[in-house]
Structure formats: structure tokens, C-alpha cells
Structure 1
Amino acid sequence: MSTEFTIPGATGPGTQPTEPDGQALDYMEMPREMATFDLPIAPEPEDTEGMEAGKAKLNELAAGLAAYKVGKPAFVLELGDLEPADLGLVNQILGEGEVSMVSGVNIQVQEAVFAGVWRVLHFDAKGVIKRDTIEVAEWPDAVRDQVFANAATTCALAEDPLPPSVFNAPSLLSEIAERVADYKPGDGAHSINLSLLPHTEEDLKYLADKLGVGSTIVLSRGYGNCRVSSTQTKNVWWVQYYNAQDTVILNSIEIINVPEVVCAAQEDIDDSAERLAEIMEIYK
């Protein structure tokens, strides 16, 4: 039973900042194949003898899942006190779901096969894991707390004169600035579908420069791939969908605290609670 925990797509070229200030974060490489997800294969009860701490942690997780309501602070479990065998059991039961995240240089997240259950690794400045947790939430509080902590609260507007071949970016920046100024927590997303609007490559580069490149990247895999990237402008995200050939089929900007594609719904969390409780029945 492996005790290692990795985040698919969260390492390799483009996933870590290249500048000391952590700002120049490129995009993570997209998977080449569509991923499918199944329930983990639970070990037989006789194979978990001596792993009482791991089973206790999973039962605590099941109780937290059953009680959790979307919109509340995350239910957090610390895993740093588990022995390798117990941690291996937790890893095996949780499995790997379809959403992974990188936030700055210090947080990596992998959703479990149970929607709304997030494995969160916290790293120190040297890249060593300093905290290992599970969060039950619509999306992890650890990421929520830092994604826009240092972001601009207003959107930069276009300047005169414009660079060559920049035509439609100024009007888009004006729209984004208005929506950012008006946004209140709980508001629905305002989406700007760039795929349906006329623009040049220079327009997109100008937009990216004015919005800034954020340090949080979310990759959702499943029936196609979706990459969600924060900007350095508060509540502004790039949302891109790819087909099986890694071609962008939808490119949009969303103004919201977190895009819906990232979040687990209450019914998903309730279902996760039922499924985990069923699995843990065999260990009683």
C-alpha cells in the first residue's frame, strides 16, 4: 500500500514560478488523454490490522462530510500525526478525483474521488511538506484565503497610445473594470466569451498584461479538460476548455470569487458522505 501522494499535472514545466517573487507562473501542461474516475478499491479488513489510527481518521472524515454545508468554513483534518501505514490507508481510500490545484509555491491540492474532499499539501520555502491536511468544502479554504490576497481591487484600463494590432482589448477592460467594481460576494458570474468576440493575439496579450498573471491554477479533467487561472485582479479568472486534441474550444474571462466548475455542490458532498460511510462499514 503506497504512502506517497502525488498531484497529477501539478509538477513539471510551467507549474512553478520562475521568478523569486513568485509572480511569473506559467500554465501547467494539459493531460493528453481523457481521464475517468472510479471508486477506490478498499483493502480487505484483514489487510488493515494495526491501522486503527487511519480508520479513525477516515471515520472522522465521514462524520465531517455528513455534517458539512456549503458556504460554511471548511472542515479540516490534520494528517501529519499518522504513521506511514495509516497514511497509506487514507491515500488508498481517498483516491484521486478530477480536480487538482496549484496555488503559489506553497500549496498543492488534489480532490479525492469523493467530491468536496480535498487533500491539501502545504510546503515551506524549501519545498518541504510542512502540513498535510484534508479539507471538506466546496473548494479549499487554504486556496481561497490566498488566491486574491495581494490582487489589485480595481482593473487597469487601456492606455493611449495602444500597441500595434490592439483593437478590442480597451472595451473589454472597461467592461471588466465595471464588473469588478460592482461585484459583491454571492453574485453570479459575469462571463465574457472571448471565443465569440473578434480579437487579435495582441488583444489577448494586452488583456493578460493588464489583468496580470495570478499564482493559482486549477485543472479539471474528465469529459474534456478545463483550466482555470487566477489573475492579479481580484475576482477575475481565465477559464479555458480544451478538446481531446488539446485545442482551446472555449476561452473566457469570468468575474466571480471562484468559477462554478471548480466547486463541489452540496448534493455532491452529500453523496460523498454516503459513499464514504458505506466503505467504512466494512471496517466496523
Structure 2
Amino acid sequence: MTVLSEIPVSVEATAPCESPTGNTLPILHEVRHALARLGKSAEKSAIDLQAMPLSSAELNDIETFLGHGEVSITIDTFGHTEIRESRFPGVWLVTHFNTEGEVESRFIDVTLIPDIVQAHRDDLAQSESELSELLESLNHESE
């Protein structure tokens, strides 16, 4: 019997549409509902903007409406990722680029802080060990 996790799934990004699709307001309402869920139950949400038809103008309208908040984060590994807080705390615009600088994916994350920014638990032990070694070497140098 095949279990669900064994079924291969691939998601193909849709190219921007030339004509308006009418998806701008529904997406913004979904952001509002997601923000309410985050506030009430700490439920995180992600809206994949590449997985639905949107014209370039609509995508621009969404980004303009959400605006800019106080925080911008750049991650440079396996391409480039830009994370920008919107003017609404808890609403983040996350864009992943490939090594050629082309957009790979674009999300609206509704969360306190995007998961990609948080340190991985597996890395914490290594980080603590490295810091301990450096502090130990400083102790030896000062003797």
C-alpha cells in the first residue's frame, strides 16, 4: 500500500499573466484571515504567490499595498533570499532567487518571524562548541 508521503509532488510556478485575474483582493483577505489566526492561535500561514495566476500589475499592487515595515533580511546561500516585513507586523514578503538572479518562489508568510531566519537546533550545539573553543583560546592567550 502506498502512503501519502511516497507520492511524488511537484509544484510548477505559473508565469505572470498579461491580463488581470481578480486575485488581488482575495489574496489580501486571506492575509487578513491568516493574521487573525496567528493572533488567536499562533497558527502560521504561507501564501505561495507563484502558485496562482497573477498579472505583474497585480503582484505589484499586492506588494505596494502591504508596503514596507522596519525589518529587511537578506540570506545568501544557494542563491539569494530577500525577506521583508510588511507594514503589517507578522506579514512578511519572502522572495527566493536562483544563482542567476531569477525569482524561484515568492511567498507571503504570516508568522512572528519566518522559519528560514531562525537558527536550526542542529546548528546550536556546533555553535556553542565553536564559541567555547574560541573563548578557551582567548583565555590561553591572556595567560
TM-score bracket, normalised by the shorter chain, equals: 0.7 to 0.9
Amino acid at match of 1:253: I
Amino acid at match of 2:72: I
The alpha-carbon deviation at position 188 of structure 1 amounts to 4.6
Residue pairs, 1:1-284, within 5 angstroms: 165=20, 167-184=22-39, 187-283=42-138, 284=140
- Is there any run of 5+ residues in structure 1 with no aligned partner, and where? 1-163
What count of residue pairs does the alignment treat as equivalent? 121
- Whether contact under 8 Å (1:185, 1:257) holds in the other structure is no
Deviations 1:27-79 (A, max 9, x none): xxxxxxxxxxxxxxxxxxxxxxxxxxxxxxxxxxxxxxxxxxxxxxxxxxxxx
Using the TM superposition, give the Cα deviation of residue 166 of structure 1 relative to its aligned residue in structure 2, in angstroms: 6.0
Q: Among the aligned pairs, what percent are the same residue?
A: 21
Taking structure 1 as the reference length, what is the TM-score of the superposition? Answer: 0.40
Secondary structure (helix, strand or coil) at the match of 2:116 reads helix
Shift of residue 206, structure 1, vs aligned partner: 1.6
What is the CA distance between 1:185 and its match in structure 2?
A: 7.9
Cα shift at 1:238: 0.4
Deviation at 1:173, TM superposition (A): 0.9
Q: Which has the higher helix share?
A: 2
- Shift of the 220–173 alpha-carbon distance from structure 1 to 2, 3 Å rule, reads same
RMSD of aligned Cα (Å)? 2.0
5+ residue gaps, structure 2, are: 1-18
